[in-house]
Amino acid sequence: MLILTNGRFHTVDRAQPLATAVAIKDGKFLAVGDAEDVMRHRTPEAQVIDLNGRTVIPGLNDSHLHLIRGGLNYNLELRWEGVPSLADALRMLKEQALRTPSPQWVRVVGGWNEFQFAEKRMPTLDEINAAAPDTPVFVLHLYDRALLNRAALRQVGYTKDTPNPPGGEIQRDASGNPTGMLIARPNAMILYATLAKGPKLPLDQQINSTRQFMRELNRLGITSAIDAGGGFQNYPEDYSVVEQLAAQDQLTIRIAYNLFTQNKGQELQDFEKWTAMVSPGQGSDFYRHNGAGEMLVFSAADFEDFLEPRPDLPETMEAELEKVVRHLVGKRWPFRLHATYDESISRMLDVFEKVDRDIPFNGLHWMFDHAETISPRNIDRVKALGGGIAIQHRMAFQGEYFVERYGAQAAKATPPVKRMLENGVPVGAGTDATRVASYNPWTALYWLVSGRTVGGLRLYDAGSKLDRDTALELWTAGSAWFSNEQGKKGRIQEGMLADLSVLSADFFSVDEEAIKSIESVLTVVGGKVVYGAAEFTPLAPPPLPVLPDWSPVNKVPGHYRAVAPAAARSLAHQCSGPCAVHSHAHDVARRSKVPVSDYSGFWGAFGCSCFAF
């Protein structure tokens, strides 16, 4: 038995929203209330932990995370999330290049954009080549481009004679030679196919990498995730590591996994094979199958590259999607589908409604992922079919580009979360990490609450932002619906799975900017301590050495720690008028008609005298 006392428990239970103590037995909450009530359940062998008045929340549940693929590669990747300047990012890149042995690459894959940098620009190819002249470097920027240094170009074999692949461009110089810039036009296949050419870790290090990634998620308060599959993530081959960890009781994140088709033109055959192999819900509370998607057919993929015009899905989409959805509904398989634009969602819903007339969905859980521009009419259609919508903080990383293309007014409800909730549609929150947005849930919660991007641009007004209680519910009980576990987890409530996080700061009272720096100091999954820091460090499991020893995780174990205010001021670029550091931002503001003052949340932190707010 585990008893936690002297805490400020935000239970996400409307019948009992607050408590000061809990008792946990056999992996579930036995009692929730005050210390007097809870201590009645104390047994001689019970472990009692004083939480010192800290805030406690249910364990966070990411409803859309590429955890399995991310875990296999975590120890290979250098992270730039939160890095305050491009100069810092390039220094980190150079240091890691010196540490990385041949033939391995340095990979910066997701969780950053140029608007977070003081310089407000991307690195140049010359800068990347100077930082790493000999070690291959691959830097992924959102869904739109990747930068490869000369060493990486040699490794992947791109030459003057290499043709552009379908949907992608290999940028070339005046002589026709590749420059190192790969551009997604209109989809990201060229980016991911190139990344897949890099060396993989051996099996023992993939196991270590997955465990390190789970520990990192635990450090941020995550206790559950739904894995949304992914390109080049084959079933069952690429699931063997997480299945081994599940069999050995070494998972510290509860994982519900979806299956993502890998074969263009043979999508139905993939799902026919898989529906004969595994059933939804098969597994345990720690590792269980969750259905199909987020890719159901390749023709239905509308990537959110806001640097490019909205893609029109091919005319074959409806017929191809219908075959797969008919099969899945007939087999009672839940499914999810990647959809960014309302125009795509309209056509997809036409297919779903047609199938429903012949094979009723009848309570089957299905969902759209992302849905940034979904219309009120289509929200109503989702509700009528019993679907849900999983939303992510992709706009926190791509909001500037969306505003530049579509305008600030169009961005004010992207996605329209409040309208979804008002209509009674199940909504769960997540990150879509690791290749575009960050896996850090507090970056996502900051976006929901503040309405700002990671670069400080204000996207949403008061009518679109969420209060902190609602945002937390989407990250806990709300996400449980998407794995058919509503009523089982997501709340601190008697009888539910005992997953919780004790926070480094009070999410409900700190300044909005401070939300981004919150971490967990004690994470409990199923009544077992899986992570501890600060005064709870002695309770934590012993640290696991990082393999290989040259891994970026040994130097940069997680997102970049925020600098103290005094240090931030020392980084500020002081001047008497609009400065070169922010010239790009001025240009974006001018072209998108967004007031420069809407960036005050970012630039104010650096104390720059360019702007009088």
Residue recorded with tokens 């641009």: 457
CA triple 473-479-480, angle to 5 deg = 105
* Bridge partner list, 386: none
Please check whether residue 88 is in contact with residue 555, taking contact to mean a CB–CB distance below 8 angstroms: no
- Give residue 136's pLDDT: 98
CA distances from 461 to 198, 402, 470 (A): 43, 16, 16
* CATH of the domain spanning 65-195, picked from 3.30.70.20, 3.10.310.70, 3.10.20.30, 3.40.50.11810: 3.10.310.70
Please give the share of the chain, as a percent, with pLDDT higher than 90: 86
Name the percent of the chain lying above pLDDT 70.
Answer: 91
Positive/negative CA dihedral, 509, 514, 516, 520: negative
* pLDDT of res. 231: 86
Residue 164: DSSP 8-state: P
Report d(CA 438, CA 467) in Å as an integer: 22
The residue-averaged pLDDT of 183-200 equals: 91
* CATH level 3 topology of 2-59+501-554: Urease, subunit C; domain 1 (2.30.40)
pTM to 2 decimal places: 0.92
Q: Mean of the per-residue pLDDT values for the chain?
A: 92
SS (H, E, C) 199-226: CCCCHHHHHHHHHHHHHHHHHCCEEEEE
pLDDT confidence of residue 305: 86
Q: What is the pLDDT of residue 303?
A: 80
Residue in the block written with tokens 């980016």? 191
pLDDT tens by residue, 3-27: 999 999 999 999 999 999 999 999 9
pLDDT tens-digit series, residues 216-226 = 999 999 999 99
pLDDT range class, residue 480, cuts 50, 70, 90: very high
pLDDT in tens, 447-474: 999 999 999 999 999 999 999 999 999 9
Q: Which secondary structure element, helix H or strand E, spans residue 25, and what is its range?
A: strand 21-25
DSSP letter assigned to residue 283:
B
Q: How many CA atoms lie within 13 A of 454 on its CB side?
A: 34
pLDDT score, position 271:
98
Give the mean pLDDT of 554-566: 63
What does the radius of gyration of the chain's CA atoms come to, in whole angstroms? 24
With cut-offs at 50, 70 and 90, classify the pLDDT of residue 556. confident
Q: Residue type at 149? A: N
| The predicted structure's pLDDT at residue 598 | 45
Residues 6+ apart with CB under 8 A from 113: 141, 142, 397, 398, 400, 454, 455
Q: CA 296, CA 264: separation in Å to the nearest integer?
A: 10
**H helix or E strand, kind and range, residue 450:** helix 441-450
Alpha helix segments (H runs only) across 495-599: 512-515, 565-571, 583-592
Residue with tokens 């009980």: 477
Cα 46 from Cα 560, distance rounded (Å): 38
- Burial annotation 88-107 (CB, 10 A radius, 16+ → b, else e): bbbebbbbbbebbeeebbbb
Look-up of token digits 């084959």: 234
Peptide linkage before 565 cis (omega within 30 of 0): no
Per-residue model confidence as pLDDT tens digits over 515-526: 999 999 999 999
**Of residues 80, 29, 66, the one with CA closest to residue 552:** 80
287-342 pLDDT tens trace: 999 999 999 999 998 888 898 889 899 999 999 999 999 999 999 999 999 999 99
pLDDT class of 605 with cuts at 50, 70, 90: very low
Q: How confident is the model at residue 590, as a pLDDT?
A: 45
**Rounded distance between C-alpha atoms, residue 33 and residue 46, angstroms:** 17
Whole-angstrom CA distances from 189 to 72, 170, 199, 231, 264 are 20, 12, 18, 9, 12
Per-residue HEC secondary structure of 366-431 comes to: EEEEECCCCCHHHHHHHHHCCCEEEEECCHHHHHHHHHHHHCHHHHCCCCCHHHHHHCCCCEEEEC
Which amino acid type is present at position 544?
L
- What span, in angstroms and rounded, lies between the C-alpha atoms of 335 and 330? 12
The pLDDT value recorded for residue 561 is 62
Residue whose C-alpha is closest to residue 542's, from 301, 230, 211: 211
The average pLDDT across 32-44 equals 96
Residue type, 187: N
Q: Is pLDDT of 84 > 50? A: yes
47-50 β-sheet, strand order: 28-33, 21-25, 2-5, 47-50
Average pLDDT of span 414-439: 96
Q: Which helix (H) or strand (E) holds 243?
A: helix 240-247
For residues 251 and 242, is the Cβ–Cβ distance under 8 A?
A: yes
* 528 pLDDT higher than 70: yes
Tokens 């072209």: give the residue. 591
CA distance 262 to 28: 38
Domains of the chain, residue spans: 2-59+501-554, 65-195, 565-606
Tokens representing 570 are 């020392």
